[in-house]
Structure 1
């Protein structure tokens, strides 16, 4: 198959990224991979949509993901018709371009929809991703699995919510990723509340959530594939991310430690409450961030930590995903 990964920019990709791992495993199984940046699309007419892509067709000479990244960066772009592709996989982070290239994410989704109209399989469904471009997407799911939340740009709204939540809340950008500008505000920090609200709201709306005491023990990144838990040899694709001392955020690149996650029946029951809608929305690969009995975030653009899940559990989840693609995609 010809599998294209839509990314922000090739030079920002890393060997440790889940996207790189998926591309490498696809090559190992004899597929061709293409990297297309958000600035690389070309519209000729409604039946002729193209892109300037970096292509790798063979695994020969590529021993690992580091070498794959080197190969991609040294490969000249070639113009290809999107109609020729079997799969277009949207693996970009809208937040990375929010300031310097605010047009990039919306154009990526628009071109993806045009490709979808041509009969190309697009993952995740770009029409649903338009509605999931920020953290408000979580509010479409059952109330019992969500933390209490408000979305606003008003300091007075935040102050009232802060008081209602016993003077302890989490504040973060509505459209954000990677743990940037995430704050825990308690009674001791309340004097800085107005300043924190102003900092976050420079770039848009903020989201305020109740503080969950279980957050001190980290969170669990849990993967779903086509609405079902990603399971290989009885082991769920998941990571328990434990933040370092004095750190609020559980992101691996922010210093959190990855540990084997204990997956309880209660967690699986909670996951089941979001699975049907995710499948209906065409969300093929999803990463849930879970604290206690609540889902804090639903990551649908480029969920990461699959490499850590594979290493911790000793299972090859990326190959399982590629095999699933082979079984569910009609080849041209």
Structure 2
């Protein structure tokens, strides 16, 4: 198969802890043709969506560090492959958030002609933290507004700690805990986040969500889902006093066993994820509440592999092989 990975510059990542690197390595091990491109490499030529790509031609059976060194050499070569996107079998959209709307616009018209992980329309819908509102009965109390006075009243009426989240933030950036006990700072923070100095239509809506106290003692759980089914999971907990549990924010990851409550959450959201073409996602759970769905470059495979002595990337590549062989059995028999 011809499998391409769209991501940020691979020279800037540590392959040992990068989910994309593990999937690329597994594709290479199976003898698939692997290509790499960045968002700016997609364009249109004679009404067709085309990509400037680099062919990652690397020997099999190397340690990851050697494989990655050879991969970087492939990136540094001048040769470019100019490929019509629809000639690919699979295109992994693994660019880190925020979402690149230009890429989504270019790929949207051909999304039914190449298998995208994940689907463009699904990513556009799920790129906002508001996507969890599709599941109102399994999420914490949640509000979204751009009106400072309304947000202030929500927090005052709630009477306890709440969490402010930018709708399009990622990696815990911009997520803060607030309380009605600190009125002076509360007003300032709300005004800052919604950009209250601008006219109402130009302000930024923000999410205000119930603070779940379990996060302090238990942390949260990241579950990776593949086609709606549980692929693997890990726990995450802050070790610095920060309430955020993102590994990029300094949290500690640890082994986690899936609970019946977590299985039920996954069961509830599976049909919607499949409907939206969100085949590979990461969800975050605190206690028994769904707090976030990550569809843009979800990570966690390397850490979960180490905790459980697994290779989850095998299941990911098995899945895409089955999808492609089923869609075009003559080409891939």
> TM-score, normalized by length of structure 1?
0.89
Question: Which residue of structure 1 aligns with residue 200 of structure 2?
Answer: none
Question: Which residue of structure 1 aligns with residue 85 of structure 2?
Answer: 82
Aligned Cα root-mean-square deviation (Å): 2.0
Q: 1:82 to 1:108 in 2, by over 3 A?
A: same
Alignment of 1:130-169 (within 5 A): 130-141=124-135, 143-169=136-162
Deviation, structure 1 residue 135:
0.8
Alignment of 1:211-222 (within 5 A): 211-216=211-216, 217-222=218-223
Higher mean displacement: 196-205 or 185-194 = 196-205
CA distance in 2: counterparts of 1:122 and 1:52, whole angstroms? 17
CA distance in 2: counterparts of 1:138 and 1:259, whole angstroms? 25
Deviation, structure 1 residue 318:
0.7
Aligned residues: 315
Deviation, structure 1 residue 121:
1.2
Higher mean displacement: 304-313 or 6-15 = 6-15
Q: 1:211 to 1:318 in 2, by over 3 A?
A: same
Question: Which residue of structure 2 aligns with residue 179 of structure 1?
Answer: 172
Q: 1:189 to 1:78 in 2, by over 3 A?
A: farther
For the pair 1:290 / 2:285, whether they are aligned, the reply is yes
Alignment of 1:41-190 (within 5 A): 41-46=42-47, 48-60=48-60, 62-64=62-64, 66-67=68-69, 70-76=72-78, 77-95=80-98, 105-117=100-112, 119-141=113-135, 143-190=136-183
CA distance in 2: counterparts of 1:279 and 1:114, whole angstroms? 19
2:168 is paired with a residue of what secondary structure? Answer: coil
8 Å CA contact 1:171–1:206 kept in 2: the answer is: yes
Question: Which residue of structure 2 aligns with residue 100 of structure 1?
Answer: none
| 1:20-47 CA distance string (max 9 Å, x none) | 211111111111221211111120133x
| 1:259-312 CA distance string (max 9 Å, x none) | 111311121112211111111111110100000111100001111111111111
Higher mean displacement: 78-87 or 64-73 = 64-73
Unaligned runs of 5+ in 1: 98-104, 231-236
8 Å CA contact 1:148–1:209 kept in 2: the answer is: yes
Deviation, structure 1 residue 83:
2.2
For the pair 1:30 / 2:23, whether they are aligned, the reply is no
